[in-house]
Structure 1
Amino acid sequence: MRYGVEDAGGRSVQRVVADLFHQHGYDTVAVRDIAAAAGVAVPVVYRRYDGKQDVLRACVRAGLDLLAEVLREAALEEDRRLVERLGELSVECRSLWALLLRESRHLEPDERAATWRRADEVVTRLAAVIERRWPGIATEDAVLRAHVVRSTLEVPGRFPRRRARQALTFALAEVAAEVVHAPPGEAPPPAPEPTSSAATDRPAEIARIAAELFVRHGFGSVAVEDVASRAGLTGAGVYHYFPSKADLLTWIVRDGVDRVERSRTRVARDRRGPAAGLRDNAALRVALALREPWLCQVLTEEWLYLAPGPLRAFRLERRAWMDAWQTALRGARPDLDAVQVDVRLGAALSVVHDLARSADLRVQPNIRTRALAAVCGCFGVPDAHEP
């Protein structure tokens, strides 16, 4: 399956550029980077495209065309083939979902909205498959499960291309099939919500506004004056608390890291075993996604734009979180190999991210309990919620 046009070397230029946007973020990629990655001179890029946004537009359109092709072909086959084909596409084009759901915000508003609508067609089709599999399932449960499957499809974007393609495709299909075919049942009782540690002083309020703007428009597209205007301040008023926009982003990320670390440390002291630890960590992440979705999205997406020092520190923090999750999942599921552990963990965390990203999901009835059940289902630990 091809992704866009081929250059003289037989590579897909749009796939190469999509990978650049995925790995480094649209705002940090220059036209000269695009030209270098594609193996062409800068003037060649400008002969083909009107500028960087036009390159992004072409990449997004190519990705949407591939998605439409899969949906069209799967409509002629059995329901199970839809999940399989989507999994194969997600492994082959690992930057696809980051491109459609994150980088497309840099398009013009009408193009962005159209892109998100077309990407959401996957959720609609998956929900229909689930409803046919389980007649009588509540519509909101079918939609939530469909979001879980799509979140699982985002997982290949977390892995380098050297990860074994066949093993990754198999693990992805395994988790997605479990989500679709698990019979409807009782959701686990919710864990006690963590006490909110959100500060209410002026810097924290400015940071909350900035986090929302960064997520909506991208870090590079937001000026300090935009934050000041939303906060009812002048630019000088923001600079009184934060020397630069980069310092503002660092403050937001540091605040999020501190909160996650406090929660993780508290869970780590629990001696009930790895399954309970998984469930309690998931409960804390779900609660944070519902309470502060903008902060969660900054920790997932905007950290790419941190200055070099804070970026190195955040990568170390994130690695420590992932190691803790992996240790707990291996303890609860010793039957899983390394790829299965990574895919199941990636799927669970992608569900939490989708919860933070989707306002429609967050207003569903009893969403905290149901989302927690979905995350635990990704782990494949049925008794993860039991004391």
Structure 2
Amino acid sequence: MTAEPTAATRPRNRKQLIVEAAGRVFSERGYHAASMEEIAAGVGITAAALYRHFPNKYTLFAECANGLADGLVAALDAVPADAGLPDVLAALTRRTVAHRASGGVYRWESRYLARDDRRLLWAKFGLVVGRVAEAVRREDLPHDEQREHGEHVEHVEHGERNRQMRAVAALGVIGSVTMHHTSIAQRRLEDMLLESALCAARTDPEATVGSARLVELPVQPVPRTRRAEILAAAVPLFARDGFANVTNGQIGEAVGLATSALYRSYPGKVDILVAACLQAADLLSQAVNQNLHGVSEAHAAVATLAATYVAYSFEHTALTSVAEGEVRGLPDDVRQPVILAQREHIAVWEQQLRSARPELDPRQARLLIHAGFGVVVEVGRLLRWRDSPENRAAVTALVVGALGV
């Protein structure tokens, strides 16, 4: 008779299990708030055992980020080189949905990578963008050939930029699913993301330039109090270096105050971050109310919402990146007002999108709304947030395309 084992057998893929657990924790809590103890608990091992595989948190974090990019590249390698756009995007969609819980690492947390590691990561994502852009080009080819005898030179000049924006918009749609928790059956989730990504990739972002919907944003108030001055000084620092890396001393120096003087306006640094998130939500709410006033037709309302969100994102880039990138690192007891403000904004979108597309249920509408937000983030980054009427119009067109309106 064979004796029963006296100890559990160590899984051969323990290192991969650690990376997957770490990706989930980093995505949910952010790099700095995540702990090695929490990651170890997710695998069912001790922190000491975890350190036998990874010497520190940064090494594990870099492994997570690179694993995400490598997985996307591998998904594309499994697709024939001449595959059509639907097949290329479907492969990326399946991979992203399968790793939804850990996929959020790349969007905001990758800024904490060292410069060389970050360059390596973005080079891998560049391969993914290039593959999607090439699929877009192949799909465009019959149309391009029809234009060769007329405006060929002009078309070549802007064609590559146009295709790259469309490719990045499609990837923004797919990646958006890692940034929220809306629950939909997996097959339906994949189908909706793929459909939205295809719509974005097939939208000409330059077709509406010159006829884009004009929106106005409320003027950001001039800091006239010490509290407002501190907030205005802190936001660019948070956006550039990340909340956890900014010290009270740096904020005080930026506003010309001793560190101790900050506490008379804010009890702690986290209170400044909460104020920034709430200011972002308030400015966006004002902009939405102002631009939706008098707009009654549902499709026009969705287009207005898209144009407003794009204009807001370009005009308040630092504030937006802080509000969206740092909220997950807030303590639970102070995060709730920020979450509620964000949900109120989503509710406005949901009402208008479901009026324009009655076949959508609330969860499906929210999925598409987040897809639209993903388009703004990724294409905005591609354009380096260079603010111009043309860039705003192009991104708005891609958002509307992704929404299927």
Alignment TM-score > 0.5, same fold: yes
Give the direction of change, closer, same or farther, for the CA distance of 1:322–1:171 in structure 2 (3 Å limit): same
Equivalent position to 2:44, from 18, 30, 39: 39
User: 2:335 aligned with 1:311, yes or no?
Assistant: yes
Answering whether residue 115 of structure 2 is matched by residue 91 of structure 1, we say no
Q: 1:372 aligned to 2:396?
A: yes
Pair 287,142 (structure 1): closer, same or farther in 2 beyond 3 Å: same
Equivalent pairs, count: 376
Matched, 1:64 2:69: yes
User: What corresponds to 1:149 in structure 2?
Assistant: 170
Unaligned runs of 5+ in 1: 382-387
* Normalised TM-score (structure 1): 0.87
Q: Report 1:214-229 matches (<5 A).
A: 214-229=238-253
Larger Rg: 2
Q: Distance in 2 between matches of 1:212 and 1:115?
A: 24
Give the drift of 1:213: 2.8
Distance in 1 separating the partners of 2:263 and 2:381: 29
Residue 220 of structure 2 corresponds to residue 213 of structure 1 = no
Contact 2:346 2:366 in 1 (8 A): no
Residue type at the aligned position of 2:200: V
Q: Residue type of the partner of 1:197?
A: Q
In 2, Cα distance between equivalents of 1:341 and 1:198: 33
Pairing 1:1-387 to 2, within 5 Å after superposition: 6-7=13-14, 12-74=17-79, 76-80=81-85, 81-95=87-101, 97-134=103-140, 135=144, 136=155, 138-160=159-181, 163-182=184-203, 186-187=207-208, 188-201=211-224, 203-204=227-228, 206-231=230-255, 233-236=257-260, 238-239=262-263, 241-358=265-382, 360=384, 362=386, 366-381=390-405
8 A contact 1:290–1:355 mirrored in 2: no
Q: In structure 1, give the amino acid aligned to 2:304.
A: D
Alpha-carbon separation, structure 2, partners of 1:179 and 1:228: 44
CA contact (8 A) 2:177 2:371 kept: no
Counterpart-to-counterpart distance in 2, 1:177 and 1:359: 21
One-letter identity of the residue aligned with 2:13 = E
Which digits, 9 at most, give the CA deviation of each residue in 1:330-350, with x for residues without a partner?
100112345542332111111
Q: Report if the CA contact (8 A) 1:213-1:222 is conserved.
A: yes
Q: CA deviation at 1:271?
A: 4.4
The CA deviation string for residues 254-276 of structure 1, in whole angstroms up to 9 with x for no partner, is: 21121112223334543422222
Change (3 A) 1:24 1:235: same
1:276, 1:307 → 2: CA distance? 38
Does structure 2 retain, via aligned residues, the 8 Å contact 1:296–1:356?
Answer: no
Q: Please, which moves more after superposition, 27-36 or 138-147?
A: 138-147
Cα distance per residue 1:75-116 (max 9 Å; x no partner): 534132211111111111114542123222222222123212
The Cα shift of 1:36 comes to: 0.8
| Alpha-carbon distance between aligned partners in 2 of 1:356 and 1:235, rounded to the nearest angstrom | 35
1:232, CA displacement in angstroms?
5.4
User: Relative to 1, partners in 2 of residues 1:313 and 1:292: Cα closer, same or farther, differing over 3 Å?
Assistant: same
Distance in structure 2 (CA, Å) of the matches to 1:365 and 1:142: 19
Cα deviation for residue 240 of structure 1 reads 5.0
Note the residue ranges of structure 2 that are not aligned, 5 or more in a row.
1-11, 145-154
Q: Tell me whether 340-349 or 283-292 shows the greater mean CA deviation.
A: 340-349
Give a deviation string over 1:319-374, Cα, whole Å, max 9, x none: 22212211111100112345542332111111223355455353677101111111
Change (3 A) 1:162 1:326: closer
Work out the CA distance in 2 between the residues paired with 1:79 and 1:170.
16
Deviations 1:166-189 (A, max 9, x none): 111100111112222346762142
TM-score normalised by length of structure 2: 0.84
Q: Give, in angstroms, the shift of residue 151 of structure 1.
A: 0.7
Query: What is the match of residue 385 of structure 1?
Result: none
State the 1:14 CA deviation.
1.4
C-alpha distance in structure 2 between counterparts of 1:359 and 1:227, whole Å: 29
Counterparts of 1:71 and 1:105, CA distance in 2: 25
C-alpha RMSD of matched pairs (Å): 2.7
Q: 1:278 to 1:238 in 2, by over 3 A?
A: same
Amino acid at match of 1:14: V
CA 1:19–1:347 in 2, change beyond 3 Å: closer, same or farther?
A: same
Tell me by how many angstroms 1:132 deviates: 2.8
**CA deviation digits over 1:35-82, x for unaligned, max 9?**
111111111011111111111122122222212212323353413221
1:270 touches 1:277 (CA, 8 Å); kept in 2? no
Alpha carbons 1:13, 1:38 under 8 Å: kept: yes
Shift of 1:204: 4.2
Q: Secondary structure at the match of 1:74?
A: coil
Q: 1:148 to 1:226 in 2, by over 3 A?
A: same
CA drift at 1:231: 4.7
CA contact (8 A) 1:289 1:355 kept: no
Change (3 A) 1:78 1:216: same
